[in-house]
C-alpha cells in the first residue's frame, strides 16, 4: 500500500521551527520511499522523516531530503511493527519569497509478504520437520 501525499512549506520556515506533517501508515515493512520536490524549489525546501521521534530518512541527522524536480526514489526495509504506525515529516523552506511543495510516498508491504518473513517461515518449518537436527553439514 502506498501512503503519503503533498506537503507545502511556507516561505521562510526555519529548521528550528519546521512544518510537521503526520502520515498514518499501517503494520508492515516500508519497502520504498519516494520524495519528489516540485519544479522551482531550487533545493531550498528540505525534509526529514521521523518515527517515534527518531530520524529514519535520511538516517544521518545532519542530512535531509531536498532537490529540484528530480525524484529521490529508493528501496528500503524499515519495519513498522508496533503502533503507532505514523511517520512525522519535518520540513523547512529557506526561500524568503515563495512557498514550496514536495510529494513524499511510503510503500508499505505486509510483513507476511516480505522475502525475509517467508524465508524465516520456511526455515522454521524445515527445522521443525527434522526435529531441529542438522541434516547436511557439507564436506570438510
pLDDT (tens digit per residue) in 4-30:
999 999 999 999 999 999 999 999 999
Nearest CA to 44 out of 122, 129, 116, 102 is that of 102
List beta partners, residue 37: 102
CATH numbers and ranges of domains, the chain:
2-129 (2.60.120)
Q: Which residue has the higher pLDDT, 127 or 103?
A: 103
What pLDDT sits at residue 111?
77
User: Residue 135: is its pLDDT beyond 60?
Assistant: no
pLDDT (tens digit per residue) in 25-78:
999 999 999 999 999 999 999 999 999 999 999 999 999 999 999 999 999 999
The DSSP result for the chain, as a single string, is -EEEEEEEE-TTB-TTS-EEEEEE--SEEEEEEEEEEPTT-TT-EEEEEEETTEEEESSSTT--B--SSPPEEEEEEEEE-SS--EEEEEEEE--SS--EEEEEEEEEE-GGGSHHHHHHHHHHHHHHHTTT--------
User: Residue 115: is its pLDDT beyond 70?
Assistant: no
Read off the pLDDT of each residue in 83-102 and give the average, rounded to a whole number. Answer: 97
pTM, two decimal places: 0.82
Amino acid at each position: 500500500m502506498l501512503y503519503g501525499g503533498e506537503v507545502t512549506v511556507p516561505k521562510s520556515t526555519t529548521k528550528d521551527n519546521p512544518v510537521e506533517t503526520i502520515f498514518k501508515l499501517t503494520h508492515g515493512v516500508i519497502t520504498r520511499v519516494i520524495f519528489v520536490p516540485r519544479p522551482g524549489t531550487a533545493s531550498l525546501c528540505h525534509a526529514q522523516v521521523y518515527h517515534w521521534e527518531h530520524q529514519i530518512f535520511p538516517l544521518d541527522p545532519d542530512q535531509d531530503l531536498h532537490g529540484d524536480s528530480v525524484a529521490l526514489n529508493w528501496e528500503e526495509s524499515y519495519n513498522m511493527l508496533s503502533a503507532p504506525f505514523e511517520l512525522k515529516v519535518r520540513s523547512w523552506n529557506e526561500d524568503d519569497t515563495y512557498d514550496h511543495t514536495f510529494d513524499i510516498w511510503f510503500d508499505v508491504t505486509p510483513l507476511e509478504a516480505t522475502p525475509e518473513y517467508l524465508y524465516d517461515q520456511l526455515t522454521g518449518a524445515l527445522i521443525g520437520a527434522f526435529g531441529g537436527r542438522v541434516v547436511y553439514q557439507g564436506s570438510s
